[in-house]
Amino acid sequence: MKVMYRSTRDNSLNLTASQAILKGLSEDGGLFVPDNLPPFDKSMEEFSRMDYQTIAYEVMKLLLGDFTEEELKSCIRNAYGSGFDTELLAPLHHVGNASYLELFHGPTIAFKDMALQILPHLLVTSARKNDVKDEIVILTATSGDTGKAAMEGFADVEGTRIVVFYPKGGVSKVQELQMVTQRGKNVKVVGIKGNFDEAQTGVKQIFSDRELEEKMQKQGFRFSSANSINIGRLVPQIVYYVYSYATLLKHGRISKGEKINIVVPTGNFGNILAACYAKNMGLPVSKLICASNENKVLFDFFETGVYDRKNREFKLTSSPSMDILISSNLERLIYHIAGNDDKRTKELMRALTDGGVYEITPQMREGLKDFCAGYATEEETAFEIRQVYNDASYITDTHTAVAGAVYRKYVNATGDKETKTVIASTASPYKFAKSVMSAIDPAYGGMDDFELIDELEKISNVKTPAAVESIRNAEVLHNNVCEVSQMKGAVIDFLK
């Protein structure tokens, strides 16, 4: 049977995968979830003999059941090709029992490429399958990486436009330059005077504006999303966890059936939720370790069962893609641990919207037993970068360092030194050169970003990625800045 998709806030809805991808977000504000997670129909040994593209097909066919074999293989072929800077799309770098899964070899040097290179193809195919003639308008809030990766995927794709909102002053210099220099006739980038949570909430409000939706449809536009709230983003992320396990098995670093731990630095919870889905489909996983920075709303949730984004300070850190207090994808997990209870999920999400806090039941907390959580301070993050560099001559970015620091704490707390562990390495250190180089040696602190990038190339022996070189002298094409209250108007102006 084909997997169908339901809203976390109304499970009477029954959509195909292509319909859910097209809509992005349900009209009731809920997120689409699969009505079941089918088990893998290939063994891990079989996966270990496949390349990334073949694994992608074998995994995604189970969840995108209304795509034909040729449609899905075409999407995969178009996504995972020449845009990556290494033959292995997601290579593993081993340091002791930990293996860093490098997810940053795509065109924007961040893990979002692994899903956002294929999403435009899934979306255009979905529109064709459902006889949609409207122009698809992608609305996206970004904490730094999604925006550029989405624009790179959608730029000049026929039948689409894309508007990206990012927190002005809340991303790294390289992240901002990557966005504001983006070319494409169908692209608009807007900095907002606020943080990521406000940008994300603003986008959700536009999606739920029925009057605006009707007005736009009369003009031939249909809204969709490239954020991880779109199930078309989440499904491709499952693939690289299967690929990482298959690679470890292929090279004899684990034995048949051996369980691994997976550590994921996360803010919006999508990347670790994909690992959770992989586990529930049959990936041998022991613990899913959720790593937070000083905006540790997820850590506190796993510790207490209380999600409280109200009674805490929002902090700007050296890992800005994790500077998030409203973790949208957690709603999907809440729905599952509530026994797929849409009414209960809706109540909790309303409590979050109205009061900024909710608490799950003891029974729901039982559903979190596969997870453990930790967080790293700014000092611990910098120490982790320096320690890994000194011990292994390997340089990680700030987000990956958060995960590494949390993994180190996990081992010290549990004594679990033997379980092989995959650490999701979510961005190239070149994207955060100032923070990375200052962590390695404070003497680098006085240099500008591109001087630091040149120094990073020297000490890492890794060539500066084309994604960084291309923005060194690129023309700034987007100077738009607005208040949060003006986001809707910015979208309307662009569509005019």
Q: What Å distances lie between residue 496 and 151, 164, 402, 478, CA to CA?
A: 20, 17, 43, 17
Strands (E), 71-159: 92-95, 98-102, 135-141
State the Cα–Cα distance between residues 424 and 262, nearest whole angstrom: 7
Quote the tokens at residue 169: 């002053």
Helix or strand run (H / E) with residue 18: helix 17-23
Phi/psi for 489 (5° steps) reads: -65, -35
Phi/psi for 4 (5° steps) reads: -110, 165
Q: Are residues 163 and 155 in contact, defined by beta-carbon separation less than 8 angstroms?
A: no
State the Cα–Cα distance between residues 261 and 325, nearest whole angstrom: 25
DSSP string computed for 138-150: EEEE-SSSHHHHH
Identify which of 440, 444, 431 has the alpha carbon closest to the alpha carbon of residue 395: 440
Q: Which residues are catalytic?
A: 112
Quote the tokens at residue 201: 């909430």
The alpha helices in 181-296, defined as continuous H runs, are 196-207, 210-218, 231-250, 270-280
State the Cα–Cα distance between residues 132 and 222, nearest whole angstrom: 9
Region of residue 14 (phi > 0: left; psi between -120 and 50: alpha; otherwise: beta): beta
Identify which of 241, 327, 225, 311 has the alpha carbon closest to the alpha carbon of residue 280: 241
Alpha carbon dihedral 275, 29, 75, 178, in 10-degree steps, equals -80
Question: How many CB atoms within 10 Å of residue 483?
Answer: 13
Q: Are residues 432 and 398 in contact, defined by beta-carbon separation less than 8 angstroms?
A: yes
Phi/psi for 439 (5° steps) reads: -70, -40
